[in-house]
Amino acid sequence: MDVEAVVEQVLQRIRPTGEERAFVEGLMRDLEEIAEDSIERLGLDVKPYFVGSLAKDTYLAGDHDVDLFLAFPLDTPLEELREKGLELGKAIAERLDGYEVAYAEHPYVRAKYRGVSVDLVPCYDVKGWRDVRTAVDRSILHTKWVLENINGRNDEVRLLKRFLKGINAYGSEIYVRGFSGYLAEILVIKYGSFLDVLEKADFMLRQKIVDPENWLRKEPETALKTVKRETEEDRPLVVIDPVDPRRNVAANLGWERYGVFYFKAHQFLENPAEEFFFGKTRKKGSYLEELRRKGTHLVTIMFPKPDLVDDVLLPQLERSARGFERALSREGFRVLGWDAGHRGGKAFLMLEVDRRERERVTIKPGPEFFTERGRDFYRKNERVWVIGKRLYAEKRVKESIVDVIVELLGKNQVALGKNVRENLKSAEILLNHVPKELEEDAYLFLSREKWNLKGQM
């Protein structure tokens, strides 16, 4: 199938139908009316703005989350904005189908309306980047900029977003480190089309800097500071925010996710297929077979998933996995790779290690022989010898990796994420065996199909 045909097929699936558009427009009209009415009733000087992909008309079919921002005048004190903003959000939500209060930089209201999730977020009514006071204030400017510049290329954005989702590189959350929706929009606006962006995968990386609003000319000092800072942080891309020269839109994009995009873009251009956009049912296989093939061993550390959002839980699990990697390597086990996640109510770390048992005896380096501590070491050990200036002795150690892990945890010798520390200390430790619900994760990890650039399409 040629690339145009594939793209057309995909568009059929991701472009909202007329019916869907009508539904979304009705939804937004309703919400606007309710918001304006509530503002009036409370006697507030607030403007409601729709932001996000619905407002920009870059949403994917079936994906209707609404972001309704409640913009207060710039002279509102922050405390008042928080308080009145939450009050207004609640007042609006009362007239919808239920809500809860959620917390980001400020509290906000997450409501349901006609089956759709509606976020009601207080912010300042900023006119430009110098006004920005809270993290969410830029959204209004982003929406405005995209609407002014997209120039009918909305479907191109849809294709790119869907492609990034399909290859698992979408989302700027800390545990994804992929492309945000706004970044996808900017790239399409800058390079012209979905296919242009794919073709530029290598070029962009070499250019490094993307500056659609020419901030480097208009505000050289500020923009250069951004470039310098982000280059020092070694980001793959520095995309100067069209609405704020102080910000790199791609600050959360990691090299890993860019690497996936890099190779998948190339593969797609060579062999276009719909699978790139929707993923394929992942390759299936037996993790036990993988263990036999590789001659390695799998340690799974598992505990009931704590009540934490992924934004918090996943980075903490990853930090803990790295802690185990270091601690085990000090103990003579090599960690070939690790994975972390949760599935079916269970949080897990998986460590692929080189062996399940180590030698029973290890060589313990002691102090220099001619010191007080040296004489002490000499007294305390049965077999002692000198290499260079230091004493050495044998030490009996636990053999099994499970025993070693239990001992390390007991002695607090593993650097663990602080919110999962206690859970890990009482976790189950499994060797070369996982429960049914983790079998697929174990296979994808051990085979590296989870990350294999070649495997999934």
Rule CB under 8 A: say whether 255 interacts with a second copy: yes
Rule CB under 8 A: say whether 449 interacts with a second copy: yes
Cα–Cα distances in angstroms (integers) from residue 128 to residues 46, 149, 266, in the given order: 18, 17, 38
Rule CB under 8 A: say whether 309 interacts with a second copy: no
H-run or E-run covering 347: strand 346-353
Q: Which of 130, 217, 330, 454 binds a second copy (CB under 8 A)?
A: 454
Give whichever of 258 and 348 is closer to a second copy, judged by the CB atom. 258
Q: Which of 75, 388, 410, 436 binds a second copy (CB under 8 A)?
A: 388
Q: List the one residue out of 67, 65, 64 whose CA is nearest residue 48.
A: 67
x/- map, 71-110, a second copy, by CB under 8 A:
----------------------------------------
x/- map, 183-222, a second copy, by CB under 8 A:
-------------------x--xx----------------
SS (H, E, C) 31-55: HHHHHHHHHHHHCCCCEEEEEHHHH
Provide the 3-class DSSP secondary structure of residue 12: helix
Strands 47-51 and 66-72: antiparallel
Rule CB under 8 A: say whether 428 interacts with a second copy: no
Provide the 3-class DSSP secondary structure of residue 212: coil
Q: List the one residue out of 97, 68, 454 whose CA is nearest residue 276.
A: 454
Within 97-199, strands assigned E span 99-103, 107-113, 116-124
Rule CB under 8 A: say whether 338 interacts with a second copy: no
Rule CB under 8 A: say whether 395 interacts with a second copy: no
Please say whether the beta carbons of 262 and 201 come within 8 A. yes
**Distance between CA 368 and CA 388 in Å, rounded?**
9
Q: Terminal CA-to-CA distance of the chain, rounded, Å?
A: 15
Q: Which of 83, 331, 399, 440 binds a second copy (CB under 8 A)?
A: 399
Please say whether the beta carbons of 298 and 291 come within 8 A. yes
Provide the 3-class DSSP secondary structure of residue 144: helix
Rule CB under 8 A: say whether 298 interacts with a second copy: no
Give whichever of 92 and 238 is closer to a second copy, judged by the CB atom. 238
Rule CB under 8 A: say whether 361 interacts with a second copy: yes
Q: Which of 221, 387, 418, 426 binds a second copy (CB under 8 A)?
A: 387
Rule CB under 8 A: say whether 431 interacts with a second copy: no
Q: Which of 260, 265, 301, 424 binds a second copy (CB under 8 A)?
A: 260
Among the residue ranges 30-38, 218-226, 359-367, 416-424, the one whose residues contact a second copy (CB under 8 A): 359-367
Sites of contact with a second copy (CB under 8 A)? 202, 205-206, 255-256, 259-260, 262-263, 293-296, 332, 334, 336-337, 354-355, 357-363, 369-370, 378, 382-389, 391, 394, 399, 447-449, 451-455
